[in-house]
Structure 1
Amino acid sequence: MDPTHLHQIAVEAMRSRGLLPVFSPQALQEAEAARHAGPERHGDIRDLRHLTWFSIDNNDTRDLDQLSVAEPLANGAARLLVAVADVDCLVRPGGAVDGHAGANTTSVYTAAGIFPMLPEVLSTDLTSLHESQERLAVVVDMQLAADGTVSGSDIYRALVFNHAKLTYDAVSAWLDGAASPPAQMASVPGLEEQVRLHDVLAGKLRQWRQSRGALNVNTISARPVFKDGQLVDLQPDEKNRAKDLIADLMIATNGATARFLVDQGFPSIRRFLQAPRRWDRIVVLAASHGVALPAMPDALALDRFLSARRAADPGGFADLSLAVVKMLGSGEYVAAPAVAGDAASAEGNGQGHFGLAINDYAHSTAPNRRFPDLVTQRLLKAALAGEPPPYSAGQLTEIANHCTLQEDNASKVERQVLKAAGAWLLHGRIGDVFDALVTGAAAKGTFVRISSPLLEGRVVRGFEGLDVGDTARVRLVAVDAEKSFIDFERA
C-alpha cells in the first residue's frame, strides 16, 4: 500500500468522525502572519537562557513542547524546572487557528502521517522549543524533597534556550550502559550531569507515586515501517528508560500546575480516571496467576501484583499490562470549580486519576498538540497577570466534554487507519494461525491483538466465553483494507 492511498483512508476516517483533516485558508494565513508579528513579550518575563535547558523526545519529533533543567540541593533535595512552550502567545483566542484547535482538540497520529492540531508553521517551528533557538515559555519551578515529594512550586513566564535536543533511544541506551553518550554530551558543558540528575529525580518521583498506588504498567503501540515509500511492517514502539524519565517529570509538572490554579482560586480542566468498573475481571486475571486481590478497587494491591509479574515474566508483561489497561478504561477531562474548597471537596469525592494515584492533575505540558493544555496555559497566564479567568465554569465544562469526545474520535481514527495498514499487510496470509490476546469483549464484538504484525482484529466465530486478558489461538479469515477490518475465528 502506498502512503498516498493510506493517507486518503485517514482523511475520510477523520471526516466521518467529525475531525477536520485540513486547515482552512484563514487558519493557514493567520498562522503565517504570526511569523512576521512575533510573540507578545509584555509582563514579567525572566531571562533564563543561560540555564542548561535540554529536551528528550522521539528521533523525528519536530513539535517540542517542553525543556527541563535541574539543580541538586542539600540533603538529597533538588530543584526541577520544566519549561512549556508558550503557544498562547501566537494562537489568538477566538481566531481561525484557535477554532481549528478547539474543534479537533488534539493532533491525530495515524499510520498515514500526523494531522497536527496547529498549522506546522507554528507547532513545528514558531512555537516549538527547537535546539539552538530562544523561545518564550511558561516555567513550572518545583522543589523536590529527598523522598520524591514535590514540597513546593512556583510558576512564571521566561525566555529559554534549548541547548540540546536528545532522543529517547540514544539517552536510554546510554543510561543503560549499552551505548556511548549522545554527541551533545561533549559539546554542551554540564549536560551529562543534567541527564544523570534527571534520571535520579525521575526515579524518586516514580517511587513516591508507586508508594501511593500508581500503576507501573508497560504497554506497547504499533509503529508503521516504510521502505522505499511502501508500508512493509507494523513494529512495536516500546517504552524505555528515557521515556519513563520524561513521563515522570511531566506528571509532577501537571500536578504542580493543577495545585497552582487551585491556590489562585481559578477553575481548571482536570484529567480524570475513575476506579475501574471491571475490577471484578482484574481480580479474576490476578487469580489466574495465583494472586488474590481485594474485592474492591485497591491501587496499591494491583501495583504489587503488577510488579511481581514484571519480575516473574518480563517477556509477557506487556500483554498483561495491555489487559489491565483495557480493564481500567479510558480517562476523561472534567472541569474543576474555581473555589479551592470546592475543588478539594470534588477531588475527595473521586475526581482524581486512579492509574497515577494523583488527585491534582491537569494536562499542561503539550500545548502544541492538546487543546486542554492550551486552555490550561491561558488560565495560568491570566492568573500570573492578575487578570480574571479567560473561561467561565460553563465554558470549561463544555470544553472538557468536547475534548473527551474528540480524543475518543481521534483514537478511533488512529485504530481504523492502523487496521487498514494491517489489513493490507495481511492480505496474503488468509488461513494463517496466530497467538492472540483478547483486548475487548462487549456487545459490539470481541477483539484480539496479534504480535506480528502488531495489530488488532475482530473474532467473528468462536468468541463465546472469551474475555479481556484471555489468550487464544486465532485463524485469519478475511481482511479489507478499504473498510479497515481484520477478521479472525478461534482456531
Structure 2
Amino acid sequence: MKYKKKKIHNNFTTGFINITSYGYAFVNVNEFQKDIFIPKKKTNRALEGDLVKIKFKNHFGYFKNKKKKRIEGEVLKVIKRKRKNFIGILKIKPYSKYGSVIIYNKTIHVNIHIPNNKLKGHFHNEKVLVRIVSWPKDYNNPLGEIIKVFGFSGEHKTELDSLLEEHEIPDKFPKKIEKEAKKILSTKDSDFNTRKDMRNVNTFTIDPIDAKDFDDALSIKKLEPNIWEIGIHIADVSHYVKEGSLLDKEAYTRATSIYFVGGVIPMLPKILSNDICSLHPEKEKLSFSFIFNINRKGKILKSWIGKTIIRSNRRFTYEEVQKIIDNKKGDFYEEISTLLFFSKIFTKKRLNNGAIFLDKIEIKFHLDEKKNPTKLCLEKNNEAHSLIEEFMLLANKKISEFVSLNSDGTPSQKTYIYRVHDKPDSKKIFLLKKIIEPLGYILDVKNLKTSINHILKKIKEKPEKNIIENLILRSMSKAKYSTKNIGHYGLSFLYYTHFTSPIRRYSDIIAHRLLHYYLNKKKCKSKSVDFYEEQSKHCSYKERIAIDIEREFSKFLQVKYLKKYHIGKEFYGIITGFTDWSVYIDLLLFQTEGMVRLRDIKEDTYILNQKNCTIIGKKKRKIYSLGDKVKVKLIDANIEKKQITLDWI
C-alpha cells in the first residue's frame, strides 16, 4: 500500500519555541509528529519557551520506508514571553555603546545589551539579574536593565545567591513566619501525660559533624539475655507546625531544606529546625516513635507506634561512632555494637530480598576562610552511616506497612504518602550495558538486580568504581512521592514511605499527620486522595529543584578547585558520552565530567557512529567506545560556564 502525498501550503499555527544555542529553532505543533524547523534568521526575536505564531509551508507528508521531509517555518510574532528576567555575567568593553550580559545556562540564545547610560555603578564580571525592556526590530540583541547585583562572578556567595534567585528560593523567612515560630517557643507543651515516657532509656543521636538539625534518635534497652527493646524516635514536627498555619504554608511552599557546601537553606525557621524540634541531648523532646522488641536472630517479636517524650543522653558524630566501632571501646560501646549487629542483619535481609546495594561516594570540600575550596575528597559511607541508614529504612518500611495493611495482612485501602521507585527504563539499561561491557562487566538484563549487585561487588576496589556506580544510578528511574503505591524497586520494599526527616522534608510531615489520624482511629475524611496526590507531586517537584541546586553548586566548587590546583595535569578518565563534536569523560580522581572536542584529537580525524556509540578514526580506523579508559590533560576550567575542557593524550 502506498501513502498518498498530503499537501499543505502557507499555514498558520501557534506553539512553544525551542531555540538551540546555535540560534535555529523548533516549534512543536500537535498536527505533526515532527517539529517545525525555524531557520536562525527567521526566529523574529523569539526567546526560548515563548509562545509564538508561525507560518509554515511545503509539507509533503511521507512515503512508505522514506523519511519525512522537513517542515520549515518562520516566526510571525511572539504572543507571550516565557520569561523576561535572566541571570548572567556583565561584560563591559571600553568604547562600546553597550555592556553585554551573557547568560550561560542555556535559558536564552542571545546576549542582552545594556545601554551605557544604564551602566553607572556597575562593573565588569558582575553577576546580575537583568530584565528585557525592549527588542527593536533592527537590533540583533534585546535591550535590558540590571535590577539586581549578586557580586562578582566566581565568588561563593555570588554563585549561591544567584542559584537561589534562578530557582526562586528565598534565603530568609518573612517576619510574620519568624514571629509565629517564636510564639511556639513560649507555648508550653500540653500533652506530656498522653505520651509514652522514654526519658530513662539510653538514647542518642548520630549525625554529620556540621549538622544543626537532629531529626532522629535511637534508644536501646536489654530486656532479657537474647531480647532487646529498640526505639527509633523521630522529631514530632507536626505537633508544632499545625496544618493550615502560616508556618505550615511556608514549609509546604519550600517542601525541603537545601543543603550545600558550607550551609543550608532550611525548610523551617532555625528556631524550629535547630532548636524546638531538634532532638538535642539532655533536653526533653517530643517525638513520634517506632519501638520494637527484637531477638538475636533479628526477628521483630512485637512493636508499638506512637507519640513519645525522650531525653537524648549524647549527641554523636559519624566519625565518633566509627572510632568507637573500630577501637571496640568508648561511650555506649555495648549499645552501639548491638545496634550495628542488628543493622547488618537488616542489610543482609534486604539484599537477599533483591535490593540494589549502592555504596555511594560523596564529594566533600574543605573551604578556607573566604570559602574557596582548598581540598576535594571522595568519602564513602562507613559502618556508622550504614547503622543509621538501616534503622531509618526499617522505620520507613514498618510505618508504611502499619498504615497500608490490616492485622491479617490484607490491604487497608487507607490514603498514605509513599516513596515509590519504578523499574528502570529498558533503553537506559541497554545504554548502561553498552558502556560497561567494554570494561569487562556483563549485565544480565533478565536477572537485573542480581546482575547489578554482582557488578557492584566486583568493582569494589577498582578505579572505575565511582563511575560505574554513577552510571547505574543514572539508569534507574527517579524515586518520587505518590499516594499510588507501586513499591520501591531499588530497596525491594512493597511498602515504603519517608517518615524519618520531618525537620527537612515536608513529605515526612504529611506522613506523620496521616499516621496520627489513623492511630486515633480517625478516617482521613477532611482531605481527598487527590489533595494528597497533589501534595506528593509538589514535594517531588521541589525535591528535584533542591537536588539540581545542590549539584550545580557542587559543580561550581569542583571547577573552581580544578582551575586553581590542577590545570596542565594529566589524569585518567572513562568515556561516558559522545556528540557530533565532542567526547565526554568522567575524571576518575574527582568524579566530575570534562569534555574533549573531536577536532582537538590530533592522532586522527574522528567521526561519530551514533548506532554503536563509538567514534572511529578516518585514517587509522581506531575505535573508541563508551566505557573506554583514556588519558587526558586538564587544559581549562571555566567557572562561568561550569565547564571542564580536556586535551586528548
Shift in CA distance, 305/59, structure 1 to aligned 2, threshold 3 Å:
same
1:95 to 245, 250, 261: 245
Question: In 1, distance between residues paired with 2:575 and 2:180?
Answer: 47
Q: Is the 8 A contact 1:430 1:476 kept in 2?
A: yes
| Aligned-partner Cα distance in 2 for 1:447–1:144 | 50
1:409 equivalent in alignment to 2:551: no
CA shift for structure 1 position 76: 5.4
Report the 3-state secondary structure (helix = DSSP H, G, I; strand = E; otherwise coil) of the residue aligned with 1:88: helix
- Aligned CA RMSD, in angstroms, stands at 3.1
Matched, 1:352 2:493: no
The residue that corresponds to 2:528 in the other structure is 392
2:417 matched to 1:269?
A: yes
* CA pair 260-489 structure 1, distance change in 2 beyond 3 A: farther
What is the TM-score of this pair, normalised by structure 1? 0.85
1:192 is matched with which residue: 330, 333, 339? 333
For 2:157, the equivalent position in structure 1 comes to: 7
Which whole-Å CA distance do the structure 2 matches of 1:70 and 1:284 have between them? 48
- Relative to structure 2, which stretch is displaced further, 465-474 or 62-71? 465-474
Pairing of 1:184-223 with structure 2 (within 5 A): 185=331, 191-223=332-364
2:644 counterpart of 1:486: yes
Which has the higher mean CA deviation after the structures are superposed, 411-420 or 37-46? Answer: 37-46
C-alpha change, 1:109 and 1:148, in structure 2 (3 Å) is same
- SS at structure 2 position matched to 1:426: helix
Residues 356-382 of structure 1 show CA distances to partners (whole Å, capped at 9, x for unaligned) of 111111010010111111111111122
More strand as a share of residues:
2
Residue in structure 1 matched with residue 469 of structure 2 by the alignment: 321
Structure 1 residues 296 and 282 mapped into 2: Cα distance closer, same or farther (>3 Å)? Answer: farther
Q: Does 1:434 align with 2:571?
A: yes
- CA positional deviation for 1:82: 0.2
Name which of structure 1's ranges 94-103 and 278-287 shifts more when overlaid on structure 2: 278-287
Alpha-carbon distance, 1:485 to partner: 3.5
Q: Mapping of 1:368-387 within 5 angstroms?
A: 368-387=503-522
Picking from 159, 184, 200, the partner of 1:34 is 184
Q: Which residue does the alignment assign to 1:251? A: 393
Q: Structure 1's 156 and 478: CA in aligned 2 closer, same or farther, altered over 3 A?
A: same
Aligned AA (1:354): Y
Secondary structure of the corresponding residue to residue 369 of structure 1: coil
How far apart are the structure 2 equivalents of 1:407 and 1:450? Answer: 27
Corresponding letter in the other structure for 1:254: N
2-structure distance, mates of 1:2, 1:172: 41
- Structure 1 gap segments, 5+ residues each: 186-190, 337-345
Query: How far is 1:122 from its partner?
Result: 0.7
Indicate conservation of the 8 Å contact 1:323/1:468, yes or no. no
Say which of 278, 303, 307 aligns to 1:128.
278
Partner of residue 101, structure 2 = none
Structure 2 equivalent of residue 339 of structure 1 = none
Q: CA deviation at 1:353?
A: 1.6
Alignment partner of 1:142 out of 292, 302, 326: 292
Q: Matches of 2:302 and 2:468 in 1, distance apart?
A: 36
Which amino acid counterpart does residue 355 of structure 2 have in structure 1? Answer: A
Contact kept? 1:420, 1:480, Cα under 8 Å: no
3-state SS in 2 of match to 1:89: helix
- Structure-2 separation of matches of 1:2 and 1:248: 44
5 Å-filtered alignment, 1:464-475, equals 465=613, 471-475=629-633
**Are the counterparts in 2 of residues 279 and 297 from structure 1 also a CA contact under 8 Å?**
no
* Structure 1 residue aligned with 2:377: 235
CA distance in 2, matches of 1:401, 1:49: 38
Match of 2:587 in 1: 450
Does the CA contact (< 8 Å) of 1:438 and 1:472 recur in 2? yes
1:97-116 maps to which residues of 2 (within 5 A)?
Answer: 97-116=247-266
Secondary structure, aligned partner of 2:483: strand
Match of 1:419 among 536, 555, 571: 555
Shift of 1:393: 0.9
Distance 2:377 2:390 in 1: 25
| Cα shift at 1:422 | 2.4
Larger Rg, first or second structure (1 or 2): 2
The alpha-carbon distance between structure 1 residues 298 and 426, as it changes in their structure 2 partners (threshold 3 A), is closer
Of 220, 224, 238, which residue of structure 1 is paired with 2:365?
Answer: 224
Identity over the aligned pairs, expressed in percent?
22
CA contact under 8 A between 1:58 and 1:168: conserved in structure 2? Answer: yes
1:19 aligned to which of 162, 166, 169: 169
Whole-angstrom distance in 1 between the partners of 2:159 and 2:638: 12
Given that 1:322 and 1:439 are in contact with CA atoms closer than 8 Å, whether structure 2 keeps it comes out as: no
Q: Greater helix percent: which structure? A: 1
TM-score, reference length from structure 2: 0.66
Match of 1:213, SS? coil
Give the 3 Å change call, closer, same or farther, for CA 448–290 of structure 1 in structure 2. Answer: closer
- 3-state SS of 1:296 partner: helix
Is the 8 Å Cα contact of residues 437 and 449 (structure 1) preserved in structure 2? yes
371-380 vs 65-74, which moves further: 65-74
Give the counterpart letter for 1:418 in structure 2.
S
SS in structure 2 at match of 1:352 = coil
Deviation at 1:437, TM superposition (A): 4.2
Is the CA contact (8 Å cut-off) linking 1:87 and 1:374 kept in structure 2?
A: yes
Partner AA of 1:22 in structure 2: K
Length, aligned pairs only? 466
2:634 counterpart residue number:
476
In structure 1, the partner of 2:597 is 461
Aligned to 1:118: 268
Q: CA deviation at 1:288?
A: 4.5
The one-letter amino acid of 2:489's match is F
Q: Judging changes above 3 Å, is the alpha-carbon distance between structure 1 residues 297 and 32 closer, same or farther for their aligned structure 2 residues?
A: farther
Q: How many angstroms apart in 2 are the aligned matches of 1:235 and 1:226?
A: 12
Secondary structure in 2 matching 1:79: strand
The whole-number CA distance in structure 2 between the counterparts of 1:112 and 1:151 is 43
Check conservation: 1:109, 1:414, Cα contact below 8 A. yes
- Alpha-carbon separation, structure 1, partners of 2:627 and 2:416: 36
Higher mean C-alpha displacement, 132-141 vs 392-401? 392-401
Q: Given that residues 466 and 591 in structure 2 are in contact (C-alpha distance below 8 angstroms), is that contact kept between their aligned partners in structure 1?
A: no
How many angstroms does 1:451 deviate by? 5.2
Query: 1:438, 1:23 → 2: CA distance?
Result: 44
How far apart are residue 474 of structure 1 and its match? 3.9
